[in-house]
Each structure stands twice: as C-alpha cells, then as structure tokens.
C-alpha cells in the first residue's frame, strides 16, 4: 500500500467514525479527493484504492489530468476553484460537477457550452457564509433568485450548495457556520425538492461539517500530503 492509499483509508475511517458518532450513515457522505497541484500518477494511486471523485481548482491543470486518466473510467471530476467566464467551456466539456457557480452569467455559459452527448452538468451554488474578505460566493439573501435561474437552465442540474468558511479553530463556531449552511440547504429543498448535496468540510472542519449535515467533504492534504505551489501549473489558470 502506498502512503496515498494509506492516507485515503485513514480519511475514510475518520469520516465513518464521525458519521457514527452523530448517528449518520457513512454512505451519506461522499469523499472528494482534492488533487490540485498533484500529478496524475497520484490520482491513479488513489483510484487504484477505489477513490472515484476528484476535485480540481485550476481548469488547465484539471483538464490535463482528466485527459491523462481518461482510460480509467469511471472517475468523476469536480471543479471546485474560482471560475472565470473564459474558462467555462473547458469546465462544461470536461467535468461532471462545478461547485462554484455564483452568478447567472457563468451558469448560462456552462449550460450553453455543455456538450449534448453528456448528461447535465451537476452544479452547486457557492455561498459566502462567513468570510467577509472573500470575493467568491453569494450572500444567502441572493440564493432564491440565483437558484431559480440555475434550475431553469436545460443543461445544468442544480444539486445543492457549497461553501468555504473562513478558517476557524473553535469547534462550536465551526458548527454554527456549518448549521447555517445545512439550514440554507433545507430551505432550498422546499422550493427545489431534488437538491441533495451540501459540499462542506475540509481537513480542519470536517467533524463540524459532517455533524451539521454535509454530504460531501473536500479533502486534499490529508490524502495527498502538503502542496508545493512553486512547482505547479496553477498560475497558468
Ligand atoms: C484546496 C481545497 C480543498 C482541500 O484543502 P485541504 O486543506 O488540502 O484538505 C478543499 N476545498 C477547496 C475549495 C479547496 O480549494
């Protein structure tokens, strides 16, 4: 077993232990392995250990890995980085999910650019839940209008919400923010009964996120090890 495979197993066990502690089934929680800055060979190691869903932040780097690993079905690729309009086509053509929809303009482009032979692109609306310095995500007040517009687009499937809360060490405060997101999803579900996904929780706030109701945790470092940004292609994005 490689160290990536060992880390993956430990991460899965941690998710299962947290889920059991709060009375949820581990099957309700998808582990998204965040492979940004890591080579295709690292993704292949994780895939060999049964990992299916991978998250990428940088369009160009992600597409290169998707193409390098295209023979390895059935990997499921999630775009989780900030999305600029001029990169939307590549996301629409290569990814199965986009977690960072935060304006109607980008949603319309993704829908128009989604190839007809592919199923609809699964999208999450990104909420700026606690980080006043972040430019990504919408305020909760803006959610009903954006959700309605996204749900009307033919080649997108609105699946739920995503957030990247401001870093916070205190568990109770993490939990308060995570519960706000879970409440927002519950409210959204009243209008859009098919939404089922809350993408919330990273290495440091996974426990609070799962306790509050996250259905998808995004874990990078704990699986693939620390990132070295200098040697990567992300600045080409
Ligand atoms: C990098 C990243 C992650 C993973 O972070 P780690 O601290 O490496 O686990 C999760 N979500 C998003 C949006 C990211 O950009």
Q: Whose CA is nearest to atom 10 of ligand 1?
A: 218
* Residue-level pLDDT at 229: 67
* Residue-level pLDDT at 116: 97
Residue from 32, 55, 124 whose mutation best tests the ligand 1 pocket (most atoms within 8 A of CB): 55
Q: Quick one: which atom of ligand 1 is closest to the CA of 36?
A: 1
Q: How confident is the model at residue 61 (pLDDT cuts 50, 70, 90)?
A: very high
* Residue-level pLDDT at 72: 85
Q: Whose CA is nearest to atom 13 of ligand 1?
A: 80
Taken in order 195, 182, 213, 169, the sign of the CA dihedral is: positive
Whether residue 237 has pLDDT greater than 50: no
* Residue-level pLDDT at 2: 93
Digit-coded pLDDT (tens) for 37-55 = 999 999 999 999 999 999 9
33 Cα–ligand 1 center, Å? 9
Whether residue 215 has pLDDT greater than 60: yes
Mean pLDDT computed over 229-236: 51
Whether residue 232 has pLDDT greater than 80: no
Whether residue 228 has pLDDT greater than 90: no
Whether residue 131 has pLDDT greater than 90: no
Domain positions in the chain: 3-235
220 Cα–ligand 1 center, Å? 6
Q: CB under 8 Å to 17, separation ≥6 — which residues?
A: none
144 Cα–ligand 1 center, Å? 27
Which tokens go with 201?
Answer: 């929780």
Q: Rounded mean pLDDT of the chain? A: 95
Residues with C-beta less than 6 Å from any ligand 1 atom:
34, 36, 57, 80, 164, 202-203, 218-222
88 Cα–ligand 1 center, Å? 21
Torsion of CA 35, 40, 45, 50, to 10 degrees: 70
* Residue-level pLDDT at 236: 44
Mean pLDDT computed over 156-172: 97
Mean pLDDT computed over 78-89: 96
**Predicted model pTM:** 0.95
CA–CA separation, 140 and 67 (whole Å): 36
Task: Indicate the CATH number for domain 3-235.
Answer: 3.20.20.10
Q: Whose CA is nearest to atom 4 of ligand 1?
A: 220
Q: Yes or no: say if 186 and 150 are a contact pair by the CB < 8 Å rule.
A: no
Q: How confident is the model at residue 231 (pLDDT cuts 50, 70, 90)?
A: very low
Residue from 124, 202, 223 whose mutation best tests the ligand 1 pocket (most atoms within 8 A of CB): 202
Residue from 7, 80, 102 whose mutation best tests the ligand 1 pocket (most atoms within 8 A of CB): 80
CA–CA separation, 30 and 124 (whole Å): 15
Q: How confident is the model at residue 168 (pLDDT cuts 50, 70, 90)?
A: very high
Mean pLDDT computed over 177-182: 98
């Amino acid at each position: 077993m490689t160290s990536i495979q060992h880390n993956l197993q430990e991460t899965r066990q941690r998710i299962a232990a947290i889920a059991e502690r709060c009375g949820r089934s581990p099957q309700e929680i998808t582990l998204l392995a965040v492979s940004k800055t890591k080579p295709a060979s690292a993704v292949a190691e994780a895939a060999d250990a049964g990992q299916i869903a991978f998250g990428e932040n940088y369009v160009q780097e992600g597409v290169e890995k998707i193409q390098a690993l295209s023979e390895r079905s059935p990997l499921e690729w999630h775009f989780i980085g900030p999305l600029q309009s001029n990169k939307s086509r590549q996301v629409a053509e290569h990814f199965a999910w986009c977690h960072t929809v935060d304006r109607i303009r980008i949603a319309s482009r993704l829908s128009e650019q989604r190839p007809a032979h592919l199923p609809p692109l699964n999208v999450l609306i990104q909420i700026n839940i606690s980080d006043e310095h972040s430019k990504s995500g919408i305020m909760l007040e803006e959610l009903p209008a954006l959700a309605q517009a996204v749900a009307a687009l033919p080649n997108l499937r609105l699946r739920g919400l995503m957030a990247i809360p401001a870093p916070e060490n205190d568990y109770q405060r993490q939990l308060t923010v995570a519960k706000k997101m879970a409440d927002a999803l519950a409210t959204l579900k009243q209008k859009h009964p098919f939404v089922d996904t809350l993408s919330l929780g990273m290495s440091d706030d996974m426990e609070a996120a799962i306790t509050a109701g996250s259905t998808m945790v995004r874990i990078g470092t704990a699986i693939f090890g620390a990132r070295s940004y200098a040697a990567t292609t992300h600045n080409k994005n």
